[in-house]
A and B are shown apart, each in its own frame.
Chain A
Amino acid sequence: EIVLTQSPATLSLSPGERATLSCRASQSISSYLAWYQQKPGQAPRPLIYDASNRATGIPGRFRGSGSGTDFTLTISSLEPEDFAVYYCQQRSSWPLTFGGGTKVEIK
C-alpha cells in the first residue's frame, strides 16, 4: 500500500499570504496524484488532478506540481474561502489512498 504523508498538519496563515502544502509518497506514483479541498460539513471537492491539472472551475491561484514521490499544492494568495482542509490522493496502484490532510487556518 502506498502511504501519502502530508505536511505540515496545520498551516496558520493570513489572507493574501502564500500557502505551500506538501504530499510525499512512499514510492513513486508518477503524476497520478489529485488534491481535494474540504470545508466543515461538506464533501470534498477536487482541485487538481494528475499532479498539475486544475479541475473544472478552480481558480488560477491554485497550482499543483511534482512527480514521482514529492508533490506540492501552492495557493498563491489566500482568499477567505480557501481556509479549509486539503487532502492528496494517489491512483497509481490499489488500494487508492489519501494523505492525512493539511488544515489551512486563519492566523
Chain B
Amino acid sequence: QVQLVQSGAEVKQPGASVKVSCKASGYTFTDYSLHWVRQAPGQGLEWMGRINPNGGGTNSAQNFQGRVTMTRDTSISTAYMDLSRLRPDDTAVYYCAREDSLKGDCFDPWGQGTLVTVSS
C-alpha cells in the first residue's frame, strides 16, 4: 500500500537547522509531488511547500522562503525538508503528504508526522 514514513522527533536549539525525511513506498516516487505541512501545538495546518520528485522543482510559501529547502533522493524514494534559523515558534509537527493527481491533487496519504521542538 502507499505509505509515507517520516524520521523521528527532533529537539533543536534556536538558530539551528533541522532536516526531516519522508520515505515513500508502494508507488513510483517520481510520479507524484510531495508537500510539507506543519501544525504548531493546538493550532491549524500550515502549508510550507512542495517538491516535484521528477526533476526536483519546488514551490514554497512566502513565510518560509529563504529558510526552507526541499530536496529528494530518487534512488531511495525519499524526500527531505530542511528548515534553517529555527525559532521557538517553529515548534510543530511536520508532515509530508503526497499530492494525489488522480483525485484533485488532494493530500493522500500523509506521513505520521515529525515533532520538532525548538528550545534552548
Asked if A45 contacts B103 (CB within 8 A), the reply is no
A91 interface contact, C-beta 8 A: yes
A: contact size bracket: 20 to 34
Contact with B along A86-100 (1 / 0, CB 8 A): 010101001111111
B: contact size bracket: 20 to 34
Asked if B103 contacts A53 (CB within 8 A), the reply is yes
Count A/B pairs, Cβ under 8 Å.
Answer: 67
Asked if A87 contacts B47 (CB within 8 A), the reply is no
Residue of A38, A50, A96 with highest tally of chain B CB at under 10 A: A96
Which of A46, A91, A94, A98 meets B44, CB within 8 Å?
A98
B72 interface contact, C-beta 8 A: no
Contact with A along B83-118 (1 / 0, CB 8 A): 000000000000101001001111111111100000
